[in-house]
Structure 1
Amino acid sequence: MKRRKTGPILKEWTLLLNPTKSFCSNFIFLLSFFAFVSSAYDDSAKLIIRPDSSTVAEDTRVSFFCRADGNPLPTVVWKKNGQSISDLRYSTKTLSNGLSTLRIEPVRLIDANSTISCTADNGIGNPVIADAILTVLRSGDLPDGFPIIEAHPVLKSVEQGRTAHVSCRVRGDPRPKILWLRDLMPVDIRSNTRYSVSTLGNPGFREKAIGKI
């Protein structure tokens, strides 16, 4: 045993190995076992996108997103206040890449202060859970600058191969962030060059966003 000049006492240990055939077999087995455990841990369910808490006005809509990863790909389950969701106003969708969404439309005051949870589980390790809080405000009690959609997007019919323009107009202070969705899912303009987004207006107060398909 050696004592450091400062800090805790350190112990020195010496391990003597007798390299017999039986020992080598057991040692290799242990290494394989630990490698299996490490691999299983790496394959366990993970949430690489977690749902964000949201504050919305009543009679509007709100979407929560989470993305799971693991091998095999985890199953994603959404719950409200720890309970399974059966309300027809709630709809869910999960893509093959693990991205999942929960959509509430319309939002009611009874949804206020709800805990929305996303659970990912693939049978390896423990399920992973992420929570978000939904806050609902009365339409007449919105604070100054609260983000509002003044003009909603309108569906259009265009000839195949032509360009379609879809626009919306929002108001808010500070400047609202705009997220475009298609079939409940975010539009990824980085990986799909068919989509582009441009923004017009006075930053921080009123903004018009134009999406091109």
Structure 2
Amino acid sequence: MCVGWIVWEKSQSKSTCCAVCWLLKSLTAVALLSMMLSIQKTQAQGWFSLQAIKEYLDIASPAKIVQPPIDTKAISGESVLFFCRAEGNPTPRILFRWNDQELVHSRPGLQLKMISPDSLSLRAKLEMEHNGDTVTCFAQNQVGSDGVSARITVYSANETPPRGFPKVHQDPSATISQVGSSAQLQCDVSADPRPTVSWIKDQFYPVDLSASRFRLV
């Protein structure tokens, strides 16, 4: 995409006009408009400075999904959580698509929750009709876009799940603790191969176990 605009230079005899054109393959029209609005006119030469363009290109980065939804297997009737986080500058807009249909609002069986400006959670109650469906996280800003899909496998509650399928033997129980003191929550899970256990707060918020306030024992 080649975009040009007019640069005016003042002289004693007349004003001359020259068109300047840059090849900016990585920028969309919206990004170019954003840049042009930020261009400042210098007092010394009376022409539009291109420094703003250089600064924009130096700091702008396309949307990139850094925590994508993952392939999920579940028993019919169970609820699962899909989480997606993206990075980029400007901060990208994130959305979920279910079988290529954009999820704008929560609906029965599908609940959306904005975790932060760059992350989104989707809680879904899976039924047999969802077997083979796909969930896609799509992120986009003015510089670029990214998308990652996850496949859903649903097993009937009346059939035996595959060997080694994860099973929760003990759920965390309600705990009362004073502010500033420690509390311990326990979860017992078995699977083969060994499962990765994630902790979720209030049904939607993944717990960052790297934070100093948490410790796995």
Q: TM-score, normalised by structure 1?
A: 0.68
Is 2:133 aligned against 1:114? yes
**Residue identity in the other structure for 2:183:** A
Q: Tell me, which stretches of 5 or more residues in structure 2 are unaligned? A: 1-17, 24-49
Structure 1 runs of 4+ with >6 Å offset: none
**Residue identity in the other structure for 1:93:** K
Residue of structure 1 in register with 2:148 after alignment: 130
Q: Bigger CA drift: 69-78 or 156-165?
A: 156-165
Once the two structures are superposed, the pairs formed by residues 1-213 of structure 1 within 5 Å of their partners are 32=50, 35=54, 38-39=57-58, 42-85=60-103, 86-96=106-116, 98-104=118-124, 106-122=125-141, 124-139=142-157, 140-183=159-202, 184-190=204-210, 192-198=211-217
CA distance in 2, matches of 1:84, 1:99: 16
Q: Aligned residue pairs: how many?
A: 172
Structure 1 52/99 Cα, relative in aligned 2: closer, same or farther at 3 Å? Answer: same
Q: CA offset at residue 134 of structure 1?
A: 0.8
Q: CA offset at residue 99 of structure 1?
A: 2.5
Which secondary structure state, in structure 1, belongs to the residue aligned with residue 187 of structure 2?
strand
CA distance in 2, matches of 1:97, 1:129: 17
CA distance in 2, matches of 1:151, 1:158: 20
Q: CA offset at residue 81 of structure 1?
A: 0.5
Q: Bigger CA drift: 172-181 or 91-100?
A: 91-100
**Residue identity in the other structure for 2:127:** R
Identity %: 28
Question: What is the alpha-carbon root mean square deviation over aligned residues?
Answer: 3.1
Whether the aligned pair in 2 keeps the contact of 1:76 and 1:94 (CA below 8 Å) is no
Q: CA offset at residue 63 of structure 1?
A: 1.6
**Residue identity in the other structure for 1:142:** P
Which secondary structure state, in structure 2, belongs to the residue aligned with residue 197 of structure 1?
coil
Residue of structure 1 in register with 2:14 after alignment: none
Whether the aligned pair in 1 keeps the contact of 2:63 and 2:89 (CA below 8 Å) is yes
Q: Tell me, which stretches of 5 or more residues in structure 1 are unaligned? A: 1-25, 199-213
The C-alpha deviation readout for 1:32-58, integer Å capped at 9, x for no partner, is: 598478458x43322122221111122
Q: CA offset at residue 146 of structure 1?
A: 0.8
The C-alpha deviation readout for 1:62-121, integer Å capped at 9, x for no partner, is: 1222211122211111111111335322222233361222121x3211221111011112
CA distance in 1, matches of 2:61, 2:192: 43
Structure 1 29/131 Cα, relative in aligned 2: closer, same or farther at 3 Å? Answer: same
Which secondary structure state, in structure 1, belongs to the residue aligned with residue 137 of structure 2?
strand
Which secondary structure state, in structure 1, belongs to the residue aligned with residue 216 of structure 2?
strand
